[in-house]
């Protein structure tokens, strides 16, 4: 079985998995990073969103072989103390209901603000439309992104 050395949350991690193994299962099954969630497995819900070199990708459909030297950031590594502006805004607006999709939502939002510190409503919509919230916290998510954009 091939061996991969991955750069995850600033640390080198080695895993022995087949090259088609999705990053999602590498994180969840092999690296004990369960914050990234499984929702659909086909990049339709966004629950598994992580950052590859700062951009949002769906880890369920991203094979480990494609990672290379890229820097992977998961929800566990978004901030050291849980105080990334997006995380703080999420708490301020008390966004979560069940909470299951929120790691993916936060990672999508953080990637948006990485590339666009002051997004318009349209830009927020287009960045967040791939993330399903089954509980319907969409309005709070939008408000939290605007708050984070102000404080970031």
Out of 49, 73, 137, 148, the only residue in the binding site for other proteins (CB under 8 A) is 137
Q: Smallest distance from the beta carbon of 115 to other proteins, in angstroms?
A: 18
Beta bridge partners of 48: none
Cα–Cα distance measured from residue 13 to residue 6, given in angstroms and rounded to the nearest whole number: 5
3-state secondary structure of 100: coil
Cα–Cα distance measured from residue 130 to residue 26, given in angstroms and rounded to the nearest whole number: 22
Total number of residues that touch other proteins (CB under 8 A):
57
Out of 65, 71, 114, 132, the only residue in the binding site for other proteins (CB under 8 A) is 132
Residues between 12 and 71 with contacts to other proteins, criterion CB under 8 A: 17-18, 20-22, 25, 28-30, 32-42, 44-45, 47
Q: CA torsion 33→99→86→138, rounded to 10°?
A: 140
Q: Smallest distance from the beta carbon of 58 to other proteins, in angstroms?
A: 12
In sequence order, what are the residues at sequence separation of 6 or more whose Cβ sits closer than 8 angstroms to the Cβ of residue 79?
Answer: 87
Q: At 91, give phi and psi (nearest 5°).
A: -75, -40
3-state secondary structure of 50: strand
Q: Is 74 in the site for other proteins (CB under 8 A)?
A: yes
Residues between 75 and 104 with contacts to other proteins, criterion CB under 8 A: 75-76, 78, 82, 87, 90-91, 94, 96-103
Residues between 99 and 128 with contacts to other proteins, criterion CB under 8 A: 99-103, 106, 125, 128
Token pair in block for residue 123: 């830009």
> Which residues would be at the binding site for other proteins (CB under 8 A)?
1, 17-18, 20-22, 25, 28-30, 32-42, 44-45, 47, 74-76, 78, 82, 87, 90-91, 94, 96-103, 106, 125, 128-129, 131-142
């Amino acid at each position: 079985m091939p061996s991969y050395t991955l750069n995850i949350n600033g640390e080198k991690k080695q895993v022995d998995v087949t090259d088609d193994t999705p990053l999602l299962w590498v994180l969840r099954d092999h690296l004990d990073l369960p914050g990234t969630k499984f929702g659909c497995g086909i990049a339709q819900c966004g629950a598994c969103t992580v950052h590859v070199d700062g951009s949002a990708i769906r880890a369920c459909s991203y094979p480990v072989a494609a990672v290379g030297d890229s820097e992977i950031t998961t929800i566990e590594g978004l901030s050291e103390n849980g105080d990334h502006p997006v995380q703080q805004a999420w708490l301020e607006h008390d966004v979560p209901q069940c909470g299951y999709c929120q790691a993916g939502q936060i990672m999508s939002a953080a990637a948006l603000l990485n590339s666009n510190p002051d997004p318009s409503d349209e830009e927020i919509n287009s960045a967040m439309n791939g993330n399903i919230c089954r509980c319907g916290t969409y309005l709070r998510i939008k408000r939290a992104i605007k708050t984070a954009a102000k404080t970031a």
